[in-house]
Amino acid sequence: MIPTPCCQRMADDLNRTCALHDDRSDCPDSFVAEMNGGYGLMIHDGGSSAVKIGFCPWCGASLPSMVC
Ligand SMILES: [Zn+2]
Ligand SMILES: [Zn+2]
C-alpha cells in the first residue's frame, strides 16, 4: 500500500515526471522515492540507491517506516 503524502511538496515530488529522464532515479530534480511502504531520499550516483528517511524534508512530518 502506498502511504499518503504528508504535504503538497512531497506529493508533487512523488508525482514529478521529467521530459529528460524516463526513470525518476536518473533525474536530479527528483528527491524522494517510495521504498517498501516508507520513503527514501534518492542518491544520484548513477544507480538507483536511496537512503531511508524518517521525516519529510519539506514539512518535517514523521513518515511511515518501511516494511522490510
Ligand atoms: Zn530530469
Ligand atoms: Zn511533508
What percentage of the chain has pLDDT greater than the value 70? 91
Q: Which ligand is in closest contact with the Cα of 20?
A: 1
> 68 lies in a domain?
no
Compute the distance from residue 53 Cα to the ligand 1 centre, in Å: 22
Q: Cell numbers at residue 15, please?
A: 508525482
> 3 lies in a domain?
no
> 47 lies in a domain?
yes
User: Which residues hold their Cβ within 5 A of ligand 1, which is an ion?
Assistant: 18, 20-21, 27
pLDDT in tens, 14-39: 999 999 999 898 999 999 998 888 89
Using the predicted structure, report yes or no on whether residue 1 has a pLDDT greater than 60: no
> 60 lies in a domain?
no
Q: At 53, which amino acid appears?
A: I
> 61 lies in a domain?
no
Contact 38, 64 (CB under 8 A): yes
Report how many domains make up the chain: 1
Using the predicted structure, report yes or no on whether residue 47 has a pLDDT greater than 90: no
Q: Which ligand is in closest contact with the Cα of 18?
A: 1
Predicted structure pTM score: 0.80
Q: Would you state the pLDDT for residue 2?
A: 60
Residue showing cell 519539506? 58
Q: Kindly write down the DSSP assignment for every residue of 12-23, as one continuous string.
A: HHHH---SS-SS
Q: What is the spatial distance between Cα 55 and Cα 8, in angstroms, rounded to a whole number?
A: 15
Owning domain of residue 12? 8-53
Compute the distance from residue 2 Cα to the ligand 2 centre, in Å: 15
